[in-house]
Structure 1
């Protein structure tokens, strides 16, 4: 397996281009199955999860073309993918593919909405909690889908089509909102989703669906209304910039010090995290090009956070923020309310000399003067990049194992950081 080696201590200076958002690209790719026309997605990041989803869609009979890198483009220039679902040949998604990525389970929505049936393996591919699909299936049942379970597969049937309905989620769920939104576009009549997720990625999906001929209003609020249509058509859509990547690099600059322009970063997608970083002692200024992040040599201040659904502090930035707080002056309390088992990075951060105590859904972080490089092992996507942040500021060398987690969600990470002065390299497996 590949490893990443970092020699810490260098401040970051320069420009980091922000890639298209993985968490937006995946549902957009799946939504392309709602029509037999071509859907063109621009600014799609080059990530392992994107490649895996293309394989899954191909298994259903979806054709795709990917525009290769052109002269003048760099490795992190977003790619263009054209998806053609005019000849879907299989409404079953097998375990060997779905088990590797949870988001692939969402294909159940366009399959049952457009073809009246789907057989999708129960999902896997994640180490940060159970994340049950009960709410997703509840939403489909509200729309008239008959759900059965057989041999670990979800059997969804709606031979007479879907019917608009009232869907009220008992708790905010991004996955459930994506599934309900996609399915309802082809349902007969009106669908109302209450307690809907408000994440920017949901808005991006709704914008694309509306370009395809859907009638969606209210995305970005807790109440989304969909007037069903009989068919959708193709479109061209540009994937939004990745707010989690933006926040991650902002925290890396906060950790090392320096001055970096996060090109394409959008402050409205990340305001809660920006507010927290300013409390920590980081300068963050929106510009016409993106977000400029600066920190001089002053010691970081400890700040308490609680993860919450958007517009609260993102759970996908919790591990990165914990790494940052290991160097802060004082004690910070980090409470995780979204996912269980999302403190697996604590033991690895401790290998750097971090002082962290766990208490149920909270972690108490006592800041230390210095971190020391160490061999560490990534446990999941966001945890892996928290180790990169720690390694950038630690004295000596850090070697991160299992970096395939990073390849799932961060495009050209070593190239982006090294151009800003970081000493970081990938050690390829023999």
Structure 2
């Protein structure tokens, strides 16, 4: 077990180099199972979730070599092995193995995946999508499912929600079908777009990328030599908020500006100054911010993974702010830790929290309950008076590459202590 130790009150400055997107890397790795030849992925973040996904791939017979942010994947010896229960139970994105393995081998037995506890996240949407595509789904024990491809003319999937991973699963399966498949109510997040663009580069024909209806013309063979994963939208937003609350000027790059529309629109409303120069986002933190209302929504709305860091910004804004996350029902675990640090916050219900600012925060010994909560508490620790100790640093390792080291490069006083 590890912990982060921060001394607050330090200004940040300089350039923060953004890693590849966590939520794009894991589906991209899963998608390599569809390919007939080796592929080189660049911009792959060295994070715990990616390492676990690579171990799962190895269990299916894939060969993987890593050098810095480059991963070479050889899928030519894919087998129909059952995935490791231990890894699946610790990795939510392991569910993305289902579509590619079904497409390549015709069947899979899969336990219910784990990951961060941020509320109810069943895989029903995935299973329903596969059923609509003619796949037989049976419960294989109390906590496992057996899926098998059956001959079917089904070509339409209507998802019951804008599920990112269910969209990705259905797209990957459809990419190798010898027919046209339409997916309605598809998610449109940047990482879904990146996956679709990767599959197009590999030979699939996909129309409607970035919209809520995808049309996939499957092909018999997919192959691509290399691909670079897009910069992490959530990491960009987290560092931008850190710069804002510490009243600092930080140059964040590389970025994809159109991925940040909802975030930057909210910054304008609040009074956070920024400038975009090519693929650089330059944040200039100020002394006064307006209170705000924020609702997390599917893309192109405000990303749910950034509502928690925005709560820290709300503690420094003038007046009463409301944060509403209708997407998950247990995403405010970090609020009790912020209140211990001095935040004035009231959780109205599982989806809404009110915060009053500006409020001075004080260093405390606190706990990271999930990935995004951990990053949020680091942001809070940057502005807290005194020392902040954040237990369970490994939670942050799941999604942020060497976060403490990279924060030190822009002036943060943060160290890591291993037990």
TM-score (norm 2): 0.97
1:414 aligns with 2:412: no
Question: Structure 1 residues 84 and 408 mapped into 2: Cα distance closer, same or farther (>3 Å)?
Answer: same
Deviation, structure 1 residue 234:
3.5
Question: Aligned residue for 2:292?
Answer: 303
1:392 aligns with 2:382: yes
Deviation, structure 1 residue 54:
0.6
1:355 aligns with 2:315: no
What is the rounded CA distance, in whole Å, between the counterparts of 1:164 and 1:213 in structure 2? 22
Matches within 5 A, 1:118-267: 118-151=108-141, 152-158=143-149, 160=151, 163=153, 165-267=155-257
1:329 aligns with 2:318: yes
1:100 aligns with 2:73: no
Question: Aligned residue for 1:292?
Answer: 282
What is the rounded CA distance, in whole Å, between the counterparts of 1:60 and 1:17 in structure 2? 33
Structure 1 gaps, min length 5? 70-78
Question: Aligned residue for 2:2?
Answer: 2
Q: Deviations over 1:184-219 (max 9, x none)?
A: 011231101111111111110011101111111111
What is the rounded CA distance, in whole Å, between the counterparts of 2:71 and 2:108 in structure 1? 24
Of 53-62 and 151-160, the range deviating more from structure 2: 151-160
TM-score (norm 1): 0.95
Q: Deviations over 1:123-143 (max 9, x none)?
A: 112211121111111111122
What is the rounded CA distance, in whole Å, between the counterparts of 1:289 and 1:21 in structure 2? 15
Deviation, structure 1 residue 163:
4.9
What is the rounded CA distance, in whole Å, between the counterparts of 1:302 and 1:28 in structure 2? 38
Task: Check the 8 A contact 2:136/2:150 in 1, yes or no.
Answer: no
Q: Deviations over 1:42-84 (max 9, x none)?
A: 01001011111111111111111112x4xxxxxxxxx111111
What is the rounded CA distance, in whole Å, between the counterparts of 1:377 and 1:120 in structure 2? 32
Task: Check the 8 A contact 2:253/2:279 in 1, yes or no.
Answer: yes
What is the rounded CA distance, in whole Å, between the counterparts of 1:159 and 1:400 in structure 2? 50
Question: Aligned residue for 1:16?
Answer: 16
What is the rounded CA distance, in whole Å, between the counterparts of 1:163 and 1:39 in structure 2? 31
The alignment of Structure 1 onto Structure 2 pairs a total of residues equal to: 417
